[in-house]
Structure 1
Amino acid sequence: MKTGTLTIRLDKNLDDLLTKASRQSGKNRSEIAREALRRQLRISQFDALRRRAMPFAEARGYLTDEDVFVDIS
């Protein structure tokens, strides 16, 4: 598997939070950063898909998440 390297600068507060999360979870800082980046990128993908789908959903009367839940439950 080919891997890449990313170097980022963290402010003191974020660095402290990352270190604390690493200690508490038993994962190294890189693992936590990769998981957070992966999660954020998936959220961004979901949001983009949602924005593309919303006009079609609204045209069919789905204006809120609750509207969808009512029909699927």
Structure 2
Amino acid sequence: MQKISREQNKPVSDVVRESIRRYIAVERFRALRRKVLPFAEAQGFLTDEDVFKAIS
């Protein structure tokens, strides 16, 4: 953390705060994905390509 703090010229507390925010965002995304995935698969969306084909 100290090294990143120096490299970015930010206080360690800001680096930690940003890290926690990003971690929470990723965990929320993963939780949402787990909830939505069965519905997407039921509609035939198994890959990114399936989604791109549907919206193109």
TM-score (norm 1): 0.70
Structure 1: any 5+ residue segments left out of the alignment? Answer: 1-17
Hey, what does 1:54 align to over in structure 2?
37
The letter of the residue matching 1:42 is: A
Higher helix share: 2
The letter of the residue matching 1:68 is: V
Hey, what does 2:22 align to over in structure 1?
39
Structural RMSD (CA): 1.2
1:68 shift after superposition: 1.6
Q: Secondary structure at the match of 1:62?
A: coil
Structure 2: any 5+ residue segments left out of the alignment? Answer: none
Q: Report the Cα distance in structure 2 between the residues aligned to 1:66 and 1:20, rounded to whole angstroms.
A: 40
Moved over 6 A (4+): none
Higher relative contact order (Cα pairs below 8 Å, separated by 6+ residues): 2
The letter of the residue matching 1:40 is: Y
- Work out the number of aligned pairs and report it: 56
Hey, what does 1:24 align to over in structure 2?
7
Q: Secondary structure at the match of 2:46?
A: coil
